[in-house]
Amino acid sequence: MKLFANWHRMLTLVIVSALFVSVMAAQNPYDKFRNKEYTNKGYMSEQDELKLAEQVHQELLKQMRLVDDRSINDYVNRLGQNLAARSERRNIPWKFYVVNDKTINAFATLGGRVYVHTGLISATTSEAQLASVIGHEIGHIVGRHGLENVKRANSMKTQGAVIGATILGAILGGQQGAEAGMALGSLVAGGFLMKHSREAEREADFLGLYNLKNANYNTGGMIEMFQMLQQVSKGGGGSLGSILASHPDPREREANTRTEISAYLQGTDRRGISNSNEFQRLKGLVPTAQTSTPARKTRPRP
């Protein structure tokens, strides 16, 4: 009887310990990304990804207006290249674009293409804040999140049309036919490419934070960014683009960032680059009265 009681107690202890360990592990949502390897395995080849990225870019150009100011473009490109060079995907040609749109937003497609809205530049108050968003977008491309979305769209039916593997094959094969155009239109205008899961967003935050730190930025810039997003969303969030619409609650994102910094990156929120004269100059250059009306809105062709 005593033996049973001891066994019983031991079993309880084991169960309680196991629960404790799993609760502790669950406290850091970034743990699952910590030792991940990033490759194109399971997705299309990198060569095809780069090809599709260019086709998506051409499609996007029909829907939005890029900023035609060399100093703005050069600055954002320099900032982006510096971050990408410290990412886990250094061997692809990275391209950073500034979109003339007053909403606070940025997005990434595939194969090294990142797009930053002028509204984001206007809303940020330091280079580290802007770098944190660009780092997050680079994270989407390192994490192959766009490729994951393409894969998902492959088996999805939209408005009666299937963006099937064969149609994507047609795009990659360079065909200009109606089917290829329709698939590309659905992928871009339908928003499939940039609609990431919450988990993918967390991973991009994780990768973005380390990207920021590795480029010697003050990681507090990311915390400030999430605080700014909270403020803007409190005011109704009208000026926010998809950053908030499809991303986890900025309070959760701030908490995750703080947890990671205190566990693994202590002090990095107190040192490193916060701002630069160039950033202040950029703020003065960005037009304030932009229009978010695209030159021509395209929808997936019927």
Per CB under 5 A, residues contacting Zn ion are 201, 204
* Structure-block tokens of residue 282: 């950029």
Q: Which is nearer to Zn ion, 67 or 204 (CB)?
A: 204
**52 in helix, strand or coil?**
helix
Please state the closest distance from residue 204 (CB atom) to Zn ion, in A: 5
Exposure of 34 by Cβ count < 10 A (0-12 exposed, 13-18 middle, 19+ buried)? exposed
| Phi, psi dihedral angles at 161 (to 5 degrees) | -105, 140
Dihedral sign, Cα of residue 296, residue 77, residue 213, residue 126: negative
Please state the closest distance from residue 223 (CB atom) to Zn ion, in A: 17
Please state the closest distance from residue 133 (CB atom) to Zn ion, in A: 9
Please state the closest distance from residue 106 (CB atom) to Zn ion, in A: 8
Please state whether 272 falls in left (phi above 0), alpha (psi between -120 and 50) or beta.
left
Exposure of 49 by Cβ count < 10 A (0-12 exposed, 13-18 middle, 19+ buried)? buried
CA 263 to chain centroid, in Å, comes to 23
Residues constituting the chain: 302
> Rounded distance, CA 205 to CA 211, Å?
10
Please state the closest distance from residue 247 (CB atom) to Zn ion, in A: 6
> Rounded distance, CA 200 to CA 188, Å?
18
> Rounded distance, CA 124 to CA 283, Å?
9
Please state the closest distance from residue 195 (CB atom) to Zn ion, in A: 10
Please state the closest distance from residue 6 (CB atom) to Zn ion, in A: 52
Q: Which amino acid is at 258?
A: R
Q: Which is nearer to Zn ion, 94 or 170 (CB)?
A: 94
Exposure of 98 by Cβ count < 10 A (0-12 exposed, 13-18 middle, 19+ buried)? buried
> Rounded distance, CA 3 to CA 44, Å?
59
Q: Which is nearer to Zn ion, 201 or 224 (CB)?
A: 201
> Rounded distance, CA 285 to CA 278, Å?
11
| Phi, psi dihedral angles at 107 (to 5 degrees) | -155, 165
Q: Which is nearer to Zn ion, 182 or 192 (CB)?
A: 192
Please state the closest distance from residue 196 (CB atom) to Zn ion, in A: 6
